[in-house]
Amino acid sequence: MTKTLPFFEELKAERKSRNIEISEISERTKINPRFLQAIEEGDFSVLPSVYMRLFLRSYAIEIGTDPKKALSDYELYTTGTITETQKQDSVEIEIEPKSESNFDDESGLSPSLSQKKILGIVALIIAIFSLFYFLNHLTEEMNTPSTEVNQQIQFDSEENTLSDSTEIISNSDGQQIDHLTESIFPNNNLIKQDSKRLHLSSPFSLQITANTPTVVHVKTNDLDFNGIMDTGKSRNFSFTDTLFFDLLRAEDVDVKINSVNLTPFLRLENDSAIRASIVSDGSLSVSYFSH
């Protein structure tokens, strides 16, 4: 490849030299073709960096080039420096002794996993983050007062408005927070990512109980709740396909899905912000962020 070309044009040239179509990569990785095209055009602003890195790595693997070099070139191109990649260790956690059979013993991302399993997990995470970005982008475009009212109507009658609590919730910088935004989850605050396969099937019911006034964000195909939950309050979110949820502090809430306790798994990192998703096959993916 020509060294004078930007690295993303070199990747594109490599793909073409191997007669690989973008549609083929999209089919195997489940990445939206427009994100693959954005990579080849150097348009890295379409996604947060933490997701773009996942997409770029899968793209590089599919065209048969070195994913580590592609990520290093990406860091150099976008930040001007190359930093040590965040370790994304996966640990085996016994979430609830009585419900131990609910989890796959081989679901951690250990070195002993075969390449096929690792690629399968990566493809699943990519598909989850693709859907999350689409839903988040759609919500931003529809973020008008009338839309918010329509969304609130979907909650039960006794829980159809945001909290009226006067409690002031602040982050470590003293900034008041009444809803969660992308700024809570910067890539440089990512501690690690983890995943588990829950032996559960749709339909699902996610229950979040606040131990102290806190902020949560829950999104499904049918609703989008982003606000304060008061101490002792619980909310139940029913879904059949995919659910995304963000927590300001994992230690402030207890979380269950279909009576399986997820709280210990979400609290692997003390005082961490959580960005997580659950998909229709019962797979749970969690990213932990420092404050």
3-state secondary structure 237-284: EEECCCEEEEECCHHHEEEEECCEECHHHHCCCCCCEEEEEECCCCEE
Q: Say how many C-beta atoms besides its own lie within 10 A of residue 53's C-beta.
A: 21
Segment 236-271, tens digit of pLDDT: 999 988 889 999 989 999 999 998 999 998 988 877
Q: In the chain, which residues fall in CATH 1.10.260.40?
A: 7-79
Q: pLDDT tens for residues 78-108?
A: 888 765 544 443 333 333 333 444 444 434 4
Q: Closest Cα partner for 29 from 4, 51, 12, 11? A: 51
CATH topology of domain 7-79: 434 Repressor (Amino-terminal Domain) (1.10.260)
Residue-level length of the chain? 291
Under 8 Å CB-to-CB from 169, ≥6 apart: which residues?
176, 177, 178, 213, 214, 215, 228, 248
**Is the pLDDT at 235 greater than 90, yes or no?**
yes
Structure confidence at residue 114 as a pLDDT band (50, 70, 90): low
pTM of the model: 0.46
Q: Centre a 10 Å sphere on the Cβ of residue 213 and count the other Cβ atoms it contains.
A: 18
DSSP per residue over 105-167, as a string?
A: TT-S--TTS-HHHHHHHHHHHHHHHHHHHHHHHHHHHT-SHHHHHHHHTTS-GGG-S------
